[in-house]
Structure formats: structure tokens, C-alpha cells
Amino acid sequence: MTDSKTRSFVSARMVAEKAGVSRSAVSRTFTDGASVSEETRRRVLDAAGALGYHVNHLARGLRERSNIVCLVVADMTTPIRAGMVDVLTRELQASGKITMVINTKADTESVSQALRQTLNYRADATVVLSGTPPASLIETCLANGQQVVLINRDDKLVGSHNLGVDNAMAGREAFFLLRRAGCQRLGLVTSTANTASLVERKRVFIEAARAEGFDVAVFEAGPTGYASGFEAGRRAFGRSNAPDGVFCVTDLLALGFMDAASHEFGISIPDDLCVVGFDDIEQAGWESYRLTTFTQPLKAMADQVLALLHDPDSAGSGRILFEPIPRWRKSVRPGPA
């Protein structure tokens, strides 16, 4: 319907002109709770429709909050990350915010750059899913009145909101499951990316095992992912004294490990090998794996983020911990072989 190539965004002034009213009237028409007569409103709406007018949220954000929330994330294709980004964007969207995604590497420099972008765009809040920003930058964000939410990150940063999953619980429970299954030679599969979460799961699992006199063989074959799990499996079974029960600190590692075990070595799961994962990504439920794992309560975490954004003081200081939900499937025996 729009006739010519306008080449540029239509503004309230143009609408006002076309409708024969003032710019104020146009503005009022588009802000709830303003007083406009039915007649004026209709004329404005007509003109706006004809011109294809849309309120400029950038300009609006100049005075008040921008309603922009930044998500800083690395390794977006990882199912668990994709899942987090998915819930968060959906919930933010639903509560009237718009999401900027900054896809970055996890190193400090990249994350710092991302945080600075966040500041440039006057985001109301920044949610960090990957990497660990330097404390000084978080400080700057805070000083600028921006909220910072760290998810599953190191918990030593002050001022920021900090949510995470109870990794210790998972480590302990994983050991319990393997022990109940009668596993004797325990293994732990992790990656060379020593993030706080991964380290914690590993530490607690090993401690729990030691406490009951079990030794744990550790396999670290590369970055977090299927390939590293597969390689770990090759290492584990390509030698004597192979494990018969392993806790993989991530589902992706677990899936790779299982594939190496069954396809390369013909090991049968859970008869000859029990495997516990963590994350409960969609693939863990696939028929070829049926992995027993722990679900990260993504929805609950996203809800908490939203609550925090809505009322920053709603949670006290300190880390907000979420219980991972044990997801029993078929990769662990219910009792000794």
C-alpha cells in the first residue's frame, strides 16, 4: 500500500502531519494510560497504519529503561546451551523485553568485549552463560545501573546475581548410583575445559568415592563434547583395568563415551558398563543411548532470572542454587550385575 520508496523510517512527526494533529497526540496514542479522544486516536491510528509507523524504541530508551537484555554465550550449538538460550529468549520475549545475543568465545578478553557491547546498547541487564568476566567490568556494569546475572559460573563474583545448579549433589548421587549397581572400577570423564561447574562435579564425585575406599580413574581427552567423550572411551578401554562404571560430567561426553564403548569395543551397557551423565539434553533420551543423567531445571532458572530482573532485591545476596533432577533411564543397572 505504501506508494514510494521512503528509504527511511517513518517518525511520529510524519504521522502527526498526515493525521493533522500534534506529535504529542501521536505519542499519547501509543502510550497506555494517556488521555486521547476517540476521534484523535482513530485518526492517528489510521495515519500510522497507512504510513507503516512503528514507535522507535531506541529513542524511547533514551529517557527510560531500554528493555534490552543481553545474553552472553559461547558454544551456542551445544544442546544444553541452545536450550538455555531458547528458554531465556522465550521468557524475556514474553515479559516484554528484547534479547540481544552476543555469541563470543569463552576467554576473558572476548567476554569483556561482550560486556562492553552490553553497556554500549544500554541493556537493562546482562546474563552471562559462558566464560567469566573480570570483576572490574562487572563493577562497571553495576555502577552503570545494569544488572548482571551469572549462570553456572564461578561464584566468587560479588554484586552480580549468581545462579547455578547443585553440582555437588550430582557428584554425590552419581557415585551412589554406580555403587548401588555394584561397579568396582570407577571412572570419571571430563574435559580439558576446567570450568567451575565441571571441576566441582569431578571433585565431589572423587571425594565421595574415596570416602568409601574407591579409586577413580580420570579421563580428559579434549574440549567438552561428543568427540572428547569418544576419545576418552578409546583410552579407557584400550588398556587393562578398564572401568565398569563412569560418571561423565556432561551428557555429550557420556554419549561419545558410550558410543566408543559399544561400537569400538562391543561393551554392553548397562550389563558390563554403567554410565551417568549430566544435563539431560534431548539426545540423552534417544533410543540408542537412554542415558541416566541429571536434568538442569532450565525453566525454573529462567523464571528466577526474570524475577530478578523484575525486582533485583527479591533474592538476597549469595548464589541461588537449583537442584538437578535425577533422570533415571537405562544406562545404569538398578543393582549388582
Partner DNA sequence: TTGAAAGCGGTACCAC
Partner DNA sequence: GTGGTACCGCTTTCAA
Number of residues binding to DNA, judged by CB under 7 A: 29
Q: Which stretch binds DNA (CB under 7 A): 37-45, 93-101, 204-212, 246-254?
A: 37-45
Minimum Å gap between C-beta 71 and DNA is 22
Q: Identify what 64 binds: a copy of itself, DNA, none; CB under 5 to 8 Å per kind.
A: DNA
The candidate with the shortest Cα–Cα distance to 215, out of 225, 207, 224, is 207
DSSP-derived 3-state class of residue 218:
strand
Minimum Å gap between C-beta 244 and a copy of itself is 21
Residue 172 CA, distance from chain mean position: 23
**Beta strand ranges found along 16-158 (DSSP E):** 68-73, 98-103, 125-128, 147-151
Q: Which of residues 288-317 bind DNA (CB under 7 A)?
A: none
Pick between residue 17 and residue 139 the one whose CB is nearest to DNA. 17
Instruction: List interacting residues with a copy of itself (CB under 8 A).
Output: 1-2, 5-10, 52, 54-59, 61-62, 66, 71, 76-77, 79, 82-83, 85-86, 89-90, 93, 98-104, 116-117, 119-122, 136, 139-140, 143-146, 226, 230, 255-256, 259-260, 262-264, 282-283, 286-289
CA distances for 64 relative to 34, 68, 314, angstroms: 17, 11, 22
* Residue 36 lies near DNA (rule: CB under 7 A): yes
**What is 278-297 written as a DSSP string?**
SB--GGGGSTTT--BEEE--
Q: Which stretch binds DNA (CB under 7 A): 16-24, 160-168, 228-236, 316-324?
A: 16-24
Q: Identify what 12 binds: a copy of itself, DNA, none; CB under 5 to 8 Å per kind.
A: DNA
Distance CA 285, CA 64 (A): 45
Q: Identify what 286 binds: DNA, a copy of itself, none; CB under 5 to 8 Å per kind.
A: a copy of itself
Query: What are 165's strand-pairing partners?
Result: 322
CB half-sphere exposure, 257, CA atoms < 13 A: 39
- Determine how β-strand 186-190 pairs with β-strand 325-327: unpaired
* Residue 249 lies near DNA (rule: CB under 7 A): no
The candidate with the shortest Cα–Cα distance to 222, out of 255, 191, 260, 254, is 191
Pick between residue 172 and residue 329 the one whose CB is nearest to a copy of itself. 329
Pick between residue 73 and residue 123 the one whose CB is nearest to DNA. 123
Count the Cβ atoms, other than its own, within 10 Å of residue 208: 22
Pick between residue 121 and residue 214 the one whose CB is nearest to a copy of itself. 121
CB 280 within 8 A of CB 251: yes
* Residue 24 lies near DNA (rule: CB under 7 A): yes
Binding site for DNA (CB under 7 A): 8-9, 11-13, 21-25, 27-28, 30-31, 35-37, 39-41, 53-56, 59-60, 62-64
